[in-house]
Amino acid sequence: PNTELVCYRVAQEALTNVARHAGAEKVRLDLHVTGEHLTLCVADDGKGGVVADGAGIKGMRERALLVDATLSIASPPGEGTELRLVVPLRVESSAR
């Protein structure tokens, strides 16, 4: 449940930031599981250039810590922004 809530809130904040600040025409949201990780990626084709963490990004980073996830943001000026949340999945052994 914590992972679901963190993914939802991070996606919500990321999309809000795109709508408010990016000046984007397109945004892509991708959520997938590979191996032992769940990855959420939100990427836009907006103005990019994010250099400082505002309150929203700080909140996303704090939420990521709750589930031992990493949050990275790539935002070259003029090339859009990509936010990536990588959550380690705990695989329980079926052997008892």
- Whether 96 is covered by a domain: the verdict is no
The CATH number of the domain where 69 resides is what?
A: 3.30.565.10
Report d(CA 92, CA 60) in Å as an integer.
Answer: 27
Q: 39 lies in a domain?
A: yes
State the Cα–Cα distance between residues 94 and 18, nearest whole angstrom.
Answer: 42
**Could you tell me if residue 93 is inside a domain?**
no
**Does residue 94 have a pLDDT over 60?**
no
Domain assignment of residue 95, yes or no:
no
Confidence of residue 92 (pLDDT cuts 50, 70, 90): low
- Could you tell me if residue 24 is inside a domain? yes
Nearest to 83 by CA among 37, 22, 25, 35: 22
In a domain, 8, yes or no: yes
Q: What's the pLDDT at 96?
A: 42
* pLDDT, tens digit (0-9, with 9 covering 90-100), for 52-89: 888 999 999 999 999 999 999 999 999 999 999 999 99
Question: Quick check: is 32 in a domain?
Answer: yes
Q: Show the domain range for 22.
A: 2-88
Q: How many distinct structural domains can be found in the chain?
A: 1
> Is 27 exposed, middle or buried, given 0-12, 13-18 or 19+ CB atoms closer than 10 A?
middle
Alpha-carbon gap, residue 41 to 11, rounded angstroms: 8
